[in-house]
A and B are shown apart, each in its own frame.
Chain A
Amino acid sequence: MRGGAADPPDLAARIRASDPKAIQEVVHAYLPQILRAARGAGLDAQLAEDVTQSAFGTFIATAPRFEGRSRVRTWLFGILYRKIAEARRRLRRDARMEDIDAVFEQQFDASGSWTRPPRPVDAALEASEVRREIEGCLEGVPTKQRMAFVLREIEELDTEEICKILEVTRTNLGVLLHRARTRLRECLETKGIRG
């Protein structure tokens, strides 16, 4: 059930029947991933725990409706994404930020060549304090962009699965990833994180 492997063939039916053992197996297999994604999405430790528990609560409550058209993991991450969006809305974490598309465009001239060339970040990013800077830089990134980044870079899910979780097209996912990475890169540059 873990990682990239497909769900066992009878799992959907067992979940639909609210088989306690099947649900316990799902919790055991995916709880660390779900908790990590909640933290990666910018929730503090306590809120990440609360959201994780709430996500599994919803999973258990809605188990009889699980039709098995997607993987259990996809379904769980979908529930988690909606819980995180709710939590961040309550915290008003999605700060209004500058138009990141304009920031990206400003790096190029009319012919599409670099006007402000990128400088390397490799050496500095090894330091642990810089990792905290990354967390800080991700703080104001809108939830959907941040979840796209977390699911791609941290959970390493494939495009199709992320699109199902976030309910977006492939093109939209590309825009979300581009904006999240551009924000992160610009923020690190602003903080002077350079090699």
Chain B
Amino acid sequence: MQSCRDIAYLIASDGLERAGWLTRLLVRLHLLYCRRCRRYAADLDTIGRVSRETWDIASVDSQTVQRLERAITDQVLGKSGDRPPETSGDRAEPSDA
């Protein structure tokens, strides 16, 4: 029988990924009847989801990406002395901004 502590550790360490089928089954059963562990698992899911949303929205500014891409590309061109063909992709070619 696994304790709540064991279940919480398995969940927080992504231990279920490498656990055998019996452990996964026991954890699933435990979560069915243990409201506290269910809540703990839901908390970690929420923290992960909110973190993903936070950094997806806040941290990648397309103008910054374009400016940096231009700077790094110039570094490459500086080394090679030859301008490569434009990169195809789903973003616009970087501007000088």
Contacts and interface: CB of A to CB of B under 8 A. Distances in A.
Interface of A: 18-21, 23-25, 27-29, 31-32, 35-36, 39-40, 45, 48-49, 52-53, 56-57, 60, 104-105, 107-108, 111-114, 117-122, 125-126, 130-131, 134-135, 149-150, 152-154, 156, 159, 170, 173-175, 177-178, 181-182, 184-185, 188
Interface in B77-92: 77, 79-80, 82-85, 87, 89, 91
A177 B14 contact: yes
A121 B83 CA distance: 52
Interface in B39-89: 39-40, 42-44, 46-48, 50-56, 58-60, 64-65, 68-69, 71-73, 75-77, 79-80, 82-85, 87, 89
A118 B58 contact: no
A113 B40 contact: no
A105 B12 CA distance: 13
Contacts, number: 154
B69 to A, nearest CB: 5
B28 interface: no
17 contacts: A20-B79, A20-B82, A21-B84, A27-B72, A28-B87, A32-B60, A35-B65, A36-B55, A39-B60, A49-B68, A53-B72, A113-B4, A121-B43, A122-B42, A154-B52, A154-B55, A173-B14
